[in-house]
Amino acid sequence: MSTPKVFFTSAVSPEGVVAAYRALGVTLPGRVGVKVHSGEPGNQNFLRPALLKPAIEAVAGTIIESNTAYDGGRGVTDKHWQTMREHGWTDIAPVDILDADGDLTLPVAHGACLTENYVGAHLADYDSVLVLSHFKGHPMGGFGGALKNISIGIASSYGKAHIHGGGDAERKFTGDQTQFLESMADAAASVMTMFADGRVAFVNVMAAMSVDCDCCAVAEDPAIADIGVLASMDPVALDQACVDLVYASTDPGRDHLVERIESRHGLHTLATAAAEGVGSREYDLVRLD
């Protein structure tokens, strides 16, 4: 198997996002769902619709999101729709809340913790997915990128609790940390299986990188200067490349973000996903500028 390519541009711009995607040389077939993070109300760091609009238009995509497992502006469908409108997502493309009409159960073939993953039932309406992720820190996962966006991000409200609890939704945010990290890898594997044969592509934007997630209504300001936009067909390689760029940074805020990644043992998700065949931690970085 050849080493996956990760394409990199330092241009954090709508044009940069499109260029990174185009470098993949793929045409996503059929009806394309575009997974974004809608941003919790109050969060100042989430990627804005204007940045992603040209990439969404390039695939004639429908924005897809799922409800959260906690109270807030995205915890139930009605509130999530309101947030989508207030944050401007409905102004740039059609929007679909995947779990508005219940769940779809995906099998996890060789998971470390999970045997099933629960996603929104509407996911079955899509032939392929473009995953536009904001790479940044995360209070529980250490970092969030492509793997988080197709695991926790695509999981239904119940599915999110199931992953957080390491297979026990009742444990939700009180589950074992290692099992949570491994469950994210398990869930990602199930989505990759559903959209096999090159029907899912990934773009990570390394900008406004707080140690906190866009799901935090109260989040720290960015810890580190913007780095760029990366794309790959391999979510493990893509997230690994982003982590490596953070570690290689000379920015004064680099240590704060690294501490968040390491204190939550975030690299364990990468290791588990690689062991399960989701992707490779080895990659070739191709610079576009």
Report the half-sphere exposure of 51 (CA within 13 A, side-chain side). Answer: 25
Burial label for 286, CB within 10 Å (0-12, 13-18, 19+), is middle
Q: What is the pLDDT of residue 172?
A: 87
Q: Is the whole-model pTM more than 0.85?
A: yes
Q: Other C-beta atoms within 10 Å of 247: how many?
A: 11
Q: Which residues fall within 8 angstroms of residue 285, CB to CB, at 6 or more apart?
A: 6, 8, 241
| Res 275 pLDDT > 80 | yes
Cβ-Cβ contacts under 8 Å for 171 (sequence gap 6 or more): 164, 165
pLDDT digit string, tens, across residues 110-165: 999 999 999 999 999 999 999 999 999 999 999 999 999 999 999 999 999 999 99
Task: Of 273, 13, 285, give the one whose Cα is nearest residue 145.
Answer: 273
All structural domains of the chain, each given as residue ranges with its CATH number in brackets, are 5-287 (3.40.50)
pLDDT in tens, 221-231: 999 999 999 99
Would you put residue 257 in left (φ > 0), alpha (ψ -120 to 50) or beta?
alpha
Distance CA 281, CA 289 (A): 23
Closest to 152 measured CA to CA, from 17, 269, 259: 269
Mean pLDDT of 32-57: 98
pLDDT in tens, 156-214: 999 999 999 999 999 988 999 999 999 999 999 999 999 999 999 999 999 999 999 99
E-strand spans in the chain?
A: 5-9, 32-35, 62-65, 95-97, 103-107, 116-120, 128-134, 136-138, 142-144, 200-206, 228-232, 284-287
Give me the residue label for tokens 């497992």.
69
Tell me the C-alpha distance between 36 and 66, whole Å: 10
d(CA 204, CA 89): 18
Mean pLDDT of the chain: 97
Residue 1 has pLDDT above 80, yes or no: no
Q: Which of 161, 158, 162, 163 is nearest to 147 (CA)?
A: 163
d(CA 169, CA 120): 16
Beta bridge partners of 65: 97
Report how far residue 100's alpha carbon sits from residue 203's, in angstroms, rounded to the nearest whole number. 26
DSSP 155: B
Percentage with pLDDT > 90 across the chain: 98
